[in-house]
Amino acid sequence: MHEQAFIELGIVILTTLIICSIFRMLRQPIIIGYIVSGIVLSPNLLGMLGHHDGFATYSQIGISFLLFMVGLGLNPRNIREVGKPAIVTGLAQVALTTLFALLLGQLFGLTPLYSLYLALGLSFSSTIIIMKLLSDKNALETLYGRISVGFLITQDLVAMLILMFVSASAGGSDLASTLTALLVKSLLLGGFLYLASVKALPWIGNKMARSQEMLLLFSITWCISLAGIFALLGFSLEIGALLAGVTLSVSPYKHEISAKMKPLRDFFIMIFFVLLGSQMILADISRQLGLILVSSALVLIGNPLIVLTVMGRLGYTRKTSFMAGLTVAQISEFSLILATLGIKVGHIPQEIIPVLTMIALITMAGSTYFIMYSDRIFDRLSPWLKVFEKKGKKIDQSSHFEQDEHKIILIGYAKMGVPLAEAFRLLGSDFFVIDYDPQMIQTLKKQDIDCLYADISNPDTFEEINLAKTQMVISTIKDVHTNLILINTVKHARSKAIIIVLAHQIDEALRLYEQGADYVIMPFHIGGHHTSSLIAEFGFDLDKFVLEKNRQISKLLIRKGLSKKPLL
């Protein structure tokens, strides 16, 4: 029995490897490769995933690890900053999509209950897919990434309430008592998590961090245990795993935890997407093709437009609103779960499953491309998106500077800002910082450093900046596409300005040089040169290396704000 399960897992991984290799050669998103692998391995074709409960368990582990790592990046302070727009946008999108989909159901002659289930299915987005795509794109820390995570969590909570309502209506349970019990459990769990994050977890983390293996084991234990506790108390595994990560987001060891969990997450989340693909029932859908195509268009185009409109009314720039809107351009795995429950309690016919399955496949594939190529899409559509912006000052574009002309503009302060600022001061030159991190902007304001809170890839950003006397522009942003936009913008506005940008790959650096960069910072290249210089200078003298180590620790502590004096 165990040998058979082992062989089946090997076949699943091998098949996925082959299919994903083909997709990689075609430069297609890897998630689509996972889903297609699931379809190939489904009971309708190879029949490898239809009868093994172990794969469902692996899938749940993958979801838990993914959301746990997302939670590690969700500092509670950041959550508070985007709380209002996330809740307002999430609720508005669910309500408006449901309304439009209800009208759509009436146009196609569906029964009221069928229309309602279809409408609810179209209104919820896949938290798992979006988390994975934003993580792959390193966009979880961006403003639109934080807002997207916020309204996805809002959707999940609404989805949980709907599932409870359907279950209660089918079993004759008292909904009021069910909701009361849910509220009590929420308060108790909230109190427990607060005490754990403030009192217990810091102490445990310090003890476990003495061994990297123990730190990894503790992280897995906390993630799986909390997810299981939430499931036992009537919540979802996903919420428990996410909050497990949030409680550790203030830990000084969160980066070590994240690095060690990443390989586990990638393996198990692959199983999730393969299993998701295997469950997509592609039955005879010719009679419902019109409904499927129009519903898919509503999700792929209508949902982003709703978010774009709501966030625009709240005062966000069209770039932030557009990027956040693309994250809701697919339906959730919850849609299939809700439909299955509706069939079980006798509310709707079985034929809704193949309809939602096809809509899921179309919208998941479409939204994956939307998010992967969102910058390019925005560049093309930007002129037509101005209509969605509210006039006046934008929430995500505030400024703090005393003069409007600067010799040096620094884009992105967190990584290299401190040493560069010291160099600017030695030159006796005034400088100006553009950053997309609201916390960093607050820090710069306290230090009386001229700054602008804005997204540099937004074409309108430089309209607020006077480049007449700018002699140097430095970007520490690692996104090549953004740096290419920057080079083009600055060259047109101030052709004599020196442009310095960042790259991690040789091909990227050469491309930036071709487009007009005057110097490209390559951290690994510079780090290698610096280390080789130290070795050549110090040789095997341990004392000199210890002295250099202490100097570096001193600088790191000063940057982190933990110390104001150098270590001796």
Mapped onto helix, strand or coil, the DSSP state of residue 521 is strand
Q: Is residue 565 part of a domain?
A: no
What element of type H or E holds 56? helix 53-72
CATH value at residue 67? 1.20.1530.20
- 404/368 same-domain check: no
Per the CB < 8 A criterion, the answer to whether 443 and 449 are in contact is no
Q: Is residue 327 part of a domain?
A: yes
pTM score over 0.85: no
Show the tokens assigned to 12.
């699943």
Q: What is the pLDDT of residue 562?
A: 39
Mean pLDDT by 10 residues, the chain (568 residues): 73 88 78 82 71 73 80 65 78 91 89 88 84 77 80 77 65 63 76 81 81 86 88 76 82 80 84 76 71 92 92 85 89 76 76 81 85 84 83 65 72 78 76 78 78 73 72 85 84 82 86 88 80 85 86 73 40
Q: What is the pLDDT of residue 555?
A: 73
- 366/403 same-domain check: no
- 11/118 same-domain check: yes
**Strand pairing report for 451-453 and 398-400:** antiparallel
Sheet order of strands, 398-400 included: 398-400, 451-453, 431-435, 408-411, 472-475, 498-502, 519-521
Per the CB < 8 A criterion, the answer to whether 432 and 404 are in contact is no
- 262/329 same-domain check: yes
Task: Count the neighbouring beta carbons within 10 Å of the beta carbon of residue 8.
Answer: 17
* Residue 470, domain extent: 398-521
Nearest CA to 493 among 525, 457, 465? 465
Show the tokens assigned to 510.
């050469």
Q: What is the pLDDT of residue 273?
A: 78
Q: Is residue 199 part of a domain?
A: yes
**d(C-alpha 310, C-alpha 295), whole Å:** 21
Q: Is residue 541 part of a domain?
A: no
In 177-222, DSSP assigns E strands to none
Domain end point (choices 367, 388, 409): 388
Q: What is the pLDDT of residue 353?
A: 74
Instruction: Phi first, then psi: give them for residue 410, nearest 5 degrees.
Output: -110, 125
Task: Count the neighbouring beta carbons within 10 Å of the beta carbon of residue 482.
Answer: 19
Cα angle: 429, vertex 431, 433; to 5 degrees:
165
Q: Is residue 279 part of a domain?
A: yes
- 340/424 same-domain check: no
Q: Is residue 553 part of a domain?
A: no
- 342/414 same-domain check: no
pLDDT in tens, 359-398: 888 888 888 888 888 888 888 888 888 888 877 666 666 6
CATH value at residue 465? 3.40.50.720
Q: Is residue 501 part of a domain?
A: yes
Q: Is residue 166 part of a domain?
A: yes
- 330/408 same-domain check: no
**d(C-alpha 126, C-alpha 132), whole Å:** 10
- 335/381 same-domain check: yes
- 276/332 same-domain check: yes
Domain end point (choices 368, 388, 408): 388
Domain end point (choices 504, 521, 538): 521
- 381/416 same-domain check: no
- 415/272 same-domain check: no
Q: Give the number of domains in the chain.
A: 2
- 327/185 same-domain check: yes
3-state SS string for 429-473: CCEEEEECCHHHHHHHHHCCCCEEECCCCCCCHHHHCECCCCCEE
